[in-house]
Amino acid sequence: MTKVTKSKGTELTPESITPAELSAFRIELLRWFDKHGRELPWRGTRDPYRIWVSEIILQQTQTVQGWDYYLRFIDRLPDVKSLAEAPEDELMLLWQGLGYYSRAHNMQHAARQIMEEHGGVFPREEREVAALKGVGPYTTAAIMSIAYDYPLAVVDGNVYRVLSRYLATDTPIDTTPGQRYYRQMAGQFLEREQPGRYNQAMMDLGATICTPKSPLCASCPLGGACRSRGTELVNLLPIKAHKTMVRERWIEYFLLLHRGQIAIRRRDSRRGIWKGLYELPGVVLESEPTALPTPPNGWEIIETLPLKDHRLSHRLLHLRVHVCSTSGDADPTYPDGTEQIPLSDHETIAFPKPLRHFLDHYTGSNRLL
Catalytic residues: 55
Asked whether 168 and 6 are in contact (CB, 8 A), the reply is: yes
- Core vs surface per residue 90-107: b (16+ CB within 10 A) or e: ebbbbbbebbbbbbbbbb
Q: Strands 282-285, 247-258: parallel, antiparallel or unpaired by DSSP?
A: antiparallel
Mention every residue, 6+ apart, whose C-beta is less than 8 A from residue 129. 48, 123, 135, 140, 143, 144
Mention every residue, 6+ apart, whose C-beta is less than 8 A from residue 358. 305, 307, 321
Single-letter residue type at 189:
F
CA distance 156 to 59: 9
Per the DSSP assignment, residues forming a β-bridge with 306 are: 320
CA distance 82 to 80: 6
Asked whether 267 and 336 are in contact (CB, 8 A), the reply is: no
CA distance 173 to 164: 9
Judged by DSSP in three states, 324 sits in strand
Per the DSSP assignment, residues forming a β-bridge with 252 are: 283, 320
Mention every residue, 6+ apart, whose C-beta is less than 8 A from residue 120. 80, 81, 114
CA distance 319 to 248: 11
Asked whether 254 and 282 are in contact (CB, 8 A), the reply is: yes
Asked whether 193 and 132 are in contact (CB, 8 A), the reply is: no
H or E element: which one contains 284?
strand 282-285
Judged by DSSP in three states, 185 sits in helix
